[in-house]
Amino acid sequence: MRQAIFFDRDGTLLVETGYLSHPSLVRPYHFTAEALRLAKEAGFFLVVVTNQSGIARGFIKEDELEAIHERMNRLLAEDGAAVDAIYYCPHHPMGMLHEYCAHCECRKPDTGMGQKAITQHGIDPARSYVIGDKVTDFLFGRNLGATPCLVRTGYGDSESERLIQLGLEEADVFDNVLEATKYIVAREREELP
């Protein structure tokens, strides 16, 4: 089974802009491509998992989100760093649009997106990692059975304080996705026989 890294999108791979609503606003951090290349070279399958409640709130349509993801992956591919799969949750229990107003199993920290990726791509969660900038990403990783890492970009600074308040002091916290990826790759190399 494959070893994967699950990445949050906004605030982790892309500069946080609130509700990213147009492909022209896609801006990977300057270190994102290097982090993804490093993970690919180490043999990880790269998966993006992203809550997109802007769809339920009526801020963006699914076809617009698809265009955003196409641009993101095209920009990353130009740097040799395209991701292998992208999953999103369009739901929110307080959504404005009836068809998306739901309590679902795919919205992080629930594991629906991760379970779908595991099934579709033969991923071993116990050998995999999650990198994100929010407590929900950290809990998603724990709930999935993967090793979670928090980054300080995006909402990460304030969220790292929340981890302590929640009694999760053991969390691995890094300045950014590149530092987290370097740690993961080094850890895996040390654990190999």
Name the residue among 23, 25, 5 with its Cα closest to residue 15: 25
Within a 10 A sphere around the Cβ of 2, how many other Cβ atoms?
16
CA dist 14 and 77 (Å) reads 14
* CA–CA gap between residue 182 and residue 79 (Å, rounded): 18
Look up residue 52 and give its DSSP letter.
-
* CA separation for the pair 143, 108 (Å, rounded): 10
Residues acting as catalytic residues: 8, 10
Tokens found for residue 18 = 């609130």
